[in-house]
Amino acid sequence: MSNLPDSSSIEKDAHGNPFWTCDSPVGELEITINLAKPEKDPRAIAAAAQTAAGKGEICDLCWASAGSDGPAHLLHSGEPVHEVRLGDESWAWWFSPYGYFPEHLIVAAPEHRPMAIDHGTIARLLDFADAFPQWFIGSNADLPIVGGSILGHDHFQGGGYRFPLMDAPVERRFAIDGLERVLAGIVRWPASVVRLRCADRTAISEAACRVMDAWRPFTFEECAIEAFTLEPKGSAAFGSARERAAAQAKGTGPGDSSTESDLLQRRFVQHNTLNPILWREGDDYVMDLVLRNNRITPERPYGLFHVPESLFHIKKENIGLIEIMGRAILPARLAAELPLIKDECSRAFYEILQATGVFKQTPSGRAGWEAFVATI
């Protein structure tokens, strides 16, 4: 990759966290080291998603939780918690204690249920943007590896901040049949991003749902994109590489040679998901849909489109909503090594963003974009 020149000195944000910016081939990126938030192993996040998704469970985002992130703790300490009508439900929202960026807020579903990116998600994001046009709103993905640290409770994040991704230009336009009023295009960004823009809420909602519906089942072998694999029942996103390889050796689709008994012991596991991000510019809705994939392989057991293990000394936690938008949140353990590792952190973050891209800047990546756009 190209060298990323140093472009700023290290400053401190309002919470005392080290912060700086760096130049990159797609413009300025932001690097922060969060001194308060503990670093999580991606395997632990995947395991938590398996055990904490059921109704009746309690997590930090639940009203009944005493966790430091959630509304019960904030109400007890006198901090305000508000409600907003999203769809036919009243969701709670409050300003996050972590303060990753100005006016960072969390919006949580009224019941404890797993995160899900579906047509209802798009409608709820639009409801929030109508109620609070001054803030962006977005969602982590709904699958391990590419999801956030709390996958068991449906929630959004938003706030009063403009991220580098939001200023990235569209490098290629394309049309969506029947929705010509929607300006659609591919964003010039290391991750793979479709941008939609339209003043008509109904039209942009339909366009976003069509992109989502096209991406969920999309497979393109040249880019190593598989929408599903057939795996042993009970295997998590970070099941053993040996077990997963053995399952794939038996066949990975309905047309393989597996016996009926063998198929009953296995399940289809979905890999394609996305990060939807929405904000307002004048009368227009602008929505970025970041295409994500959580497939793992024996060679890349931590995720084929995730942080390479060679960069775990900088970061190993999942790349979620905030970071995919161009603001790194690096672990506190790195603070003691500043400023010596500042440039290394900057280069690593751009390389991590490149790793998340399902369509790389290669001939096969460009062919993948062509094939995907044709399905929308």
| Domain CATH code at residue 60 | 3.30.428
Give the largest Cα separation in the chain, rounded: 62
Q: Please give the tally of structural domains in the chain.
A: 2
8 Å CB contact between 21 and 29: yes
Q: Helix crossing, 119-131 with 201-215: angle to 10°?
A: 150
Is residue 175 a part of any domain in this protein? yes
358-365: long-range pairs with CB below 8 Å, 24+: 358/192, 358/223, 358/225, 358/291, 358/292, 358/293, 358/305, 359/192, 359/223, 359/291, 360/223, 364/222, 364/223, 365/223
Q: Are residues 261 and 306 in the same domain?
A: no
**Domain assignment present for 4:** no
Which has the higher per-residue pLDDT, 214 or 269?
214
Three-state SS for 85?
Answer: strand
Q: Is residue 265 part of a domain?
A: yes
Do residues 250 and 347 both lie within one domain? no
Average pLDDT for 310-322: 92
Whether 49 contacts 142, CB under 8 Å: no
Q: What is the pLDDT of residues 171-202, one digit of tens each?
A: 999 999 999 999 999 999 999 999 999 999 99
Residues 368 and 260 in one domain: no
> Tens of pLDDT along 53-101?
444 567 778 876 545 555 655 554 556 789 999 999 999 998 887 778 8
248 in a structural domain: yes
The pLDDT tens digits of the residues spanning 272-310 come to 999 999 999 999 999 999 999 999 888 988 899 999 999
Same domain, 244 and 199: no
What's the domain range around 259? 228-269
- 341 falls in which pLDDT band (50, 70, 90)? very high
